[in-house]
């Protein structure tokens, strides 16, 4: 499925704009803080139903507005497909979201099942390698949720139940009554956690079955923190003292290593050079593409957010090759770079902001 046009109304800093998108390469050119990434994020939102920067959905609305509309026109087998998302700020302050396919209202799961997929490359994604475990958990949670809506439901169920269990631990005065109340949540959380852990393990296995990138070999270890009745018994006294749940997938992490000649494996999160860490991010993103193509048979759209300003020469060359293979929308501040890219991509479209 090819994206042809994006129409935005009251999205972030954009009051009303229409953007025609090339089937090959679209370059969004402009100075910093002009809203280039906002256009990129609108495409991500139209495809996935969510942005990639907001901490609250209210942030997607133009300041002072109460309603946002995003429309995307896609070409599939010479037929035009119309997707629309409406966000509305209710009088309660909450944001309601509605999804439409060909003007027919759909649930989020149905909407995304009829959509294509996209893969985002951005310089700040190096935090997946260098950042804290919660950044890696967020990355894998968002990624797996785009493939598997059931995973997202189990994740929401687990997080809600975990909050309730922690409140019981925090506020209960009687140890005996606390044990009775916890027993229900312990069984429920074990069930939800098992599903989450299995899905994370499966995707980790996929990564390890696609370990090579340009002759380099990666390995990723899933450091899972399982939620089981046996482990709960081991942590029971400490939990009652600290009044916090101490086990479960909310404490999972991943260790990414690169094989080299000197040692069997080098943990690039701790000991990798900046170049090796960037390569690690590229390996993860390339495998997003591989998974979409091999497991769900979708040729994704690439979204590149100012990647040429941060990536080194080798990674830039890899990105140039990707641009030739996939429909791509990219942002940049560099006019000279645009001229060079246009020499190889005659059908590219320039959007100046």
Hey, what domains does the chain have and what are their CATH numbers?
Answer: 1-116+299-353 (3.40.50.300), 126-291 (1.20.1050.90)
What is the spatial distance between Cα 53 and Cα 55, in angstroms, rounded to a whole number?
A: 7
Nearest partner of 111 among 102, 119, 120, judged by Cα: 102
* Cα–Cα nearest to 225, from 251, 204, 198, 246: 251
Amino acid 83: pLDDT: 98
Residue 107 tokens read as: 């649930």
Length of the chain counted residue by residue:
353
* pTM (global) more than 0.85: yes
For residue 82, give every residue at least 6 positions away whose Cβ sits within 8 Å of its Cβ, in sequence order, or none. Answer: 71, 72, 73, 74, 100, 101, 102, 103
Q: Distance (Å, rounded) from C-alpha 291 to C-alpha 140? A: 13
Tell me the two tokens of residue 119. Answer: 């893969």
Q: What's the pLDDT score for residue 318?
A: 84
CB 204 within 8 Å of CB 241: no
328 neighbors 24 (Cβ within 8 angstroms): yes
pLDDT of residue 4: 97
Supply the pLDDT for residue 180. Answer: 79
Q: How far is CA 59 from CA 34, 47, 102, 253, in A?
A: 16, 18, 26, 29
Residue 101 near residue 80, CB atoms below 8 Å: no
- Per-residue pLDDT at 107: 94
What is the pLDDT, as a whole number, of residue 189? 97
- What's residue 56's pLDDT? 83
Q: What's residue 313's pLDDT?
A: 77
Written as tens digits, the pLDDT of the chain (353 aa) is 999 999 999 999 999 999 999 999 999 999 988 899 999 999 999 999 999 887 788 999 999 999 999 999 999 988 999 999 999 998 888 899 999 999 999 999 999 999 999 999 998 999 999 999 999 999 999 999 998 989 999 999 999 999 999 999 988 766 677 877 889 999 999 999 999 999 999 999 999 999 999 889 999 999 999 999 999 999 998 998 899 999 999 999 999 999 876 668 899 999 999 989 999 999 999 999 999 999 999 999 999 999 887 777 777 888 888 898 999 999 999 888 888 888 888 888 999 99
Dist. CA 172–CA 331, nearest whole Å: 52
**Residue 183, C-beta contacts closer than 8 angstroms, at least 6 positions apart:** none
pLDDT (0 to 100) of residue 263: 65
């Amino acid at each position: 499925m090819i994206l042809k046009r994006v129409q935005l109304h009251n999205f972030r800093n954009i009051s009303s704009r229409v953007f025609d998108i090339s089937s090959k390469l679209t370059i969004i050119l402009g100075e910093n803080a002009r809203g280039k990434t906002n256009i990129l994020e609108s495409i991500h939102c139209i495809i996935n139903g969510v942005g990639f920067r907001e901490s609250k959905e209210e942030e997607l609305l133009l300041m002072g507005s109460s309603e946002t509309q995003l429309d995307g026109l896609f070409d599939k087998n010479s037929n035009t497909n119309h997707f629309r998302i409406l966000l509305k700020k209710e009088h309660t302050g909450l944001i309601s979201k509605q999804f439409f396919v060909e003007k027919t209202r759909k649930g989020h799961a149905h909407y995304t099942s009829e959509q294509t997929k996209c893969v985002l490359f951005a310089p700040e994604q190096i935090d997946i390698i260098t950042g804290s475990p919660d950044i890696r958990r967020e990355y894998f949670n968002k990624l797996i949720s785009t493939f598997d809506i059931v995973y997202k439901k189990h994740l929401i169920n687990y997080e809600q139940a975990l909050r309730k269990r922690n409140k019981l631990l925090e506020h209960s005065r009687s140890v005996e009554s606390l044990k009775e109340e916890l027993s229900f949540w312990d069984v429920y959380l074990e069930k939800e956690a098992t599903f989450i852990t299995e899905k994370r393990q499966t995707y980790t296995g996929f990564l390890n079955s696609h370990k090579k990138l340009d002759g380099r070999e990666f390995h990723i270890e899933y450091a899972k923190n399982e939620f089981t009745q046996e482990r709960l018994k081991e942590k029971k006294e400490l939990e009652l003292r600290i009044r916090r749940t101490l086990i479960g997938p909310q404490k999972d992490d991943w260790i990414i290593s690169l094989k080299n000649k000197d040692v069997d494996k080098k943990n690039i999160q701790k000991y990798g050079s900046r170049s090796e860490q960037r390569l690690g991010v590229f390996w993860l993103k390339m495998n997003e593409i591989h998974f979409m193509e091999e497991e769900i048979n979708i040729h994704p759209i690439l979204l590149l957010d100012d990647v040429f300003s941060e990536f080194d020469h080798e990674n830039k060359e890899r990105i140039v090759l990707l641009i030739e293979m996939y429909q791509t929308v990219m942002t940049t501040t560099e006019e000279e770079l645009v001229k060079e890219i246009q020499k190889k991509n005659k059908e590219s479209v320039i959007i100046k902001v």
